[in-house]
A and B are shown apart, each in its own frame.
Chain A
Amino acid sequence: MTNTEIWEWMQRDLDGDLSPDEQRALFALLEKDTDLQQKYNRLKSVSLQLEQLPPVVPSISIVDSILPKLESAVATPAAKADLNAGVLPTLEVKSKPASPSEPRKWKNKTVWFARIGSTAVAACLLLGVMLIGKEANEQIDPATQGSIVAPPAAEPPVIIGPPAPQPSTNPTPLPEQGEEPPVQEETKQPPKQQKKAQTPSKPVTKAPEPPPAKVGQPADSVPVMVPPKPVPREPKPPAFPFGLEEKSDDDKGKKSKEDEKEKKKKDNKKDDGDDRDDDRDDDHDDDKEMGKKKSSREYGRTSLA
């Protein structure tokens, strides 16, 4: 037996791995060799020291120290369940049966979407056709009415002469109320101050025509001045007060205005005396109207301002 084999037997004996026969043979060899016996004694002392190592105990309870972490990990079963769920590739199993069913579902869905879409489109087309037909029928009637309505818009010049007195009767209450009502209206309906303030100012200036003119035009001070001209046109060209004031409103040069006044005066002097009476009457009426116009203009200015 070699030294290495004896050394191995000695080691095995320390671990109690030798059979009784092996142990007896080993002790017989050790009795013969003191050096081997000394080696065996040293190894046995080491083994005894290892067996007698002091029991070490943790200074703190490790489980208690990690319990908060463990509990914060949301209860082990849940976490484990999640882990298992995450680990288990059940998705593949599900995907296999799901994969064939999904296409069918999608096909069915697409078919249904197509059907619904086609029906919806057809319904929209029908509704559109119906609406268009109704509108066409409605538009035909209004077209005839529009032709009736159109003449009044074109007639006004014809009506301008006769209706003038009628509107004048109507507007007369308006002008009296014209200056006041707007204020009342303004107080009543502040949000529409400009529109309503302008609308009454126009009828004040021109009773008959303004309503249609207002509908067609956007209520400005300048267009309001245009209608008065035609009224004097019937007897004769526009009265100078209008022109003067209008020109002054237009902010033209004073010299040019004075020249025009002189020319107009000369022309008026040249006209007949009958015309002068008519003119005077007209002038009086005009003056009255002018007073109203001035007031309206001033009102309009104020309102515009």
Chain B
Amino acid sequence: MPEAELIRLAQTGDHEALVQLLRSIETSVYRSAYYILGNEQDALDASQEVLIRIYRKLDTYQEKAKFSTWVQRIVSNVCMDKFRAKKETVSIDEHEMIIPDRNNVEDEILLTGLSHDIQEAIGKLPKQYRVVVVLRYLEDFSYQEIAETLELPLNTVKSYLFRARQQLQELLYDYQKGGIG
């Protein structure tokens, strides 16, 4: 069944259509949350919250925007809330996140190769850059769609993405240097 039909049925109160719709977006929601937040547990919590919000607010969705854009907007909002909550609770979390990541990298770098470098580099990006990168590469959004999702000007989105890529390139270059050294 096409996504538009599922959305229509879900909005009319079809519970099965709503569940099916949630299942269809479950993976993409989790993937974005995982790369934005950087760990599985936070990604699971955020994904649950995102799906619950979608479940409750599906009536507010209008076909003016793409459904995926609407969903990713909720994902980014939930992830931003998670970032704020983390900052307010424990400021040491950033350091704790780095240390286990390095240990994990040491354990798994042989298996995953450069993917872990890029994941670690993504984790070091500013939040806004991270979200833009995730939307661009994981959701394959265009500049315009990212701008609509994040409700940002188009030039701002470009700026965020270009700077994010530049920082990633520098970080990865440093890793390569360290690995070679």
Query: Interface on A for B, CB 8 Å cutoff?
Result: 7-8, 11-12, 14-15, 17, 39, 42-43, 45-47, 49-63, 65-67, 69-70, 73, 75-77, 79-80, 83-84
Most chain A CB neighbours (cut-off 10 Å) among B34, B51, B165: B165
Q: Interface size for chain B: under 10, 10 to 19, 20 to 34, or 35 or more residues?
A: 35 or more
- Taken residue by residue from 85 to 121, chain B's Cβ proximity to chain A (1 for < 8 Å, 0 otherwise) reads as 0000000000000000000000000001011011100
A11 lies within 8 A of B161 (CB): yes
Contacting residue for A62 out of B47, B118, B158, CB 8 A: B47
Cα distance A8–B161 when bound, in Å?
11
A58 lies within 8 A of B47 (CB): yes
A46 lies within 8 A of B169 (CB): yes
A50 lies within 8 A of B161 (CB): no
B118 lies within 8 A of A69 (CB): no
Count of A-B residue pairs with CB < 8 Å: 109
The 7 closest A-B pairs by CB, nearest first: A77-B13, A50-B137, A11-B162, A49-B118, A58-B30, A42-B169, A46-B169
Contacting residue for B44 out of A17, A46, A60, CB 8 A: A60
A57 nearest in chain B by CB position: B27
A77 nearest in chain B by CB position: B13
Most chain B CB neighbours (cut-off 10 Å) among A49, A70, A84: A49
* Residue numbers in B under 8 Å from A42 (CB-CB): 169, 172-173
* Residue numbers in B under 8 Å from A14 (CB-CB): 165
Cα distance A70–B168 when bound, in Å?
40
Measured CB to CB, the closest approach of chain A to B88, in angstroms, equals: 25
A69 lies within 8 A of B27 (CB): no
